[in-house]
Amino acid sequence: MASTNNDGEEEQKKKPFFYYVKRIYPFFLCFVEIPILTYNSIPCPVSPEPFSISPVQPSFEVNSALTKAKRIIDGELDRPHSLVVDKDHLYTGTQDGFVNDVWKGTVRPLAHFGKLNCV
């Protein structure tokens, strides 16, 4: 029952902590504890077997394949990366946010991501 103070206003009596625990625990039991206990009691249909990986020795050989490469647009792009080759077109993204099309030695910007001059 609520008590009244000097101004005639009613004060709510604080309920003890265990009052709320008694109210919440049945829901917790039904929706959390029982499903977890049921799930853990079901036997696992899989029986794992140990697996080991044998060490693999890399077989890198010294070669000079890149010495035969031809530079096609030296110094025209700002730090290119993510290269895609499609027939005679080379598409690349650059550090400054542009996507470029390189075709027959000419560079043509296709799109830009982000703000300009933010590098």
Instruction: Say how far apart CA 43 and CA 26 lie, in whole Å.
Output: 27
| Residue 5 pLDDT | 56
| Residue 91 pLDDT | 93
Q: Which helix (H) or strand (E) holds 17?
A: helix 17-28
| Residue 30 pLDDT | 81
How many of the other CB atoms lie within 10 Å of CB of 98?
19
| Residue 99 pLDDT | 92
Q: Which helix (H) or strand (E) holds 19?
A: helix 17-28
Q: How far apart are the first and last CA of the chain?
A: 69
| Residue 12 pLDDT | 67
**pTM above threshold 0.85:** no
Instruction: Say how far apart CA 32 and CA 67 lie, in whole Å.
Output: 66
**Cα 11-15-16 angle, rounded to 5 deg:** 145
pLDDT in tens, the chain (119 residues): 555 555 555 556 777 877 877 888 888 888 888 888 887 778 878 888 888 888 888 778 888 888 888 887 778 888 888 889 998 899 999 888 889 999 988 899 999 888 776 55
Q: Where are the domains of the chain?
A: 74-112
